A and B are shown apart, each in its own frame.
Chain A
Amino acid sequence: MSSPQDQPHEREVSESRERVRAALVDQINALNTERKRTDCASATRCTSPVLL
């Protein structure tokens, strides 16, 4: 089992990189979605379909 002092194996680093990249992309997408939602909510002429 690897301890903190070991130099991590290339495989460990690459697996970690893949997991964190996926999480980061999710986070970026979530932030973009939130931004679009906020922009829409704060727009002066955001017309709700319910009102049409």
Chain B
Amino acid sequence: MCVREDRGAIVLSLFESYYDRVYCFIRRSLPPEQAEDIAQELFVRLLEHRDLENRTISVSYLIKIADNLIKRRYQRNKRFQRWLESHDQRLEIGPDATAASDTPNALDDQALERALDVLSPEERDAVRLIVCQGMSYDQAACSLGVSVTTINNWKYRGLRKLKESVKQPDELAAGSAA
């Protein structure tokens, strides 16, 4: 019997039984796209669960994981916001900011993704791992399979581009007013 192939069947069975309830739970805190993201991450994580075959997984357990993922995402976005503030920069926010202000990270996520779009894939990975997720240089370098110097360079260039990208709208506005 192949245990690892069973693992896929177990996760699919849990998915069929509980996806709707998990998704609805996450939707109470987040808009559709982010709720789907987190729900998907949850089931992908289950695939990697070390002891999946020997555990009885209940819907409460899944909802607890979902809750942790929501909180983690919120913390990650807060860290990123703090970093931006510490560099005396502000992300440009959309007109729906006030409407979304009571949703903890809907706006933050969109702003974060927009800002990261200006980076190369390597720079984006470095900023995500070190700045957003708070990994050490060693851990981040190891997970990307590069040296600490390389990842430090990527992160440095990424942060510099981010600073330029958030400064640009203000400079353009100042230029047009002159």
Interface residues of A (CB under 8 A from B): 2-8, 12-13, 16-17, 19-21, 23-25, 27-28, 31-32, 35
Contacts and interface: CB of A to CB of B under 8 A. Distances in A.
Interface of B: 4-5, 8, 11-12, 15, 19-20, 23-24, 27-32, 35-36, 39-40, 43-44, 47, 99-100, 102-103, 106
13 contacts: A3-B103, A4-B28, A4-B106, A5-B102, A12-B32, A13-B23, A17-B19, A19-B36, A20-B15, A21-B12, A21-B15, A27-B47, A31-B8
Given A13-B24, A17-B20, A19-B36, A4 B12 contact: no
A13 B44 contact: no
Contacts, number: 68
A32 B47 CA distance: 11
Nearest to A10: B20
Given A21-B15, A27-B44, 14 more contacts: A2-B31, A4-B28, A4-B29, A4-B106, A6-B27, A7-B27, A16-B36, A20-B40, A21-B12, A23-B40, A24-B11, A31-B4, A31-B8, A32-B5
A6 B106 CA distance: 14
Nearest to A23: B40
A20 B12 contact: no
B31 A3 contact: yes
Given A17-B19, A27-B44, A4 B4 contact: no
Contacts of B99: 3
Contacts of A2: 31-32
Contacts of B27: 4, 6-8
B23 A28 contact: no
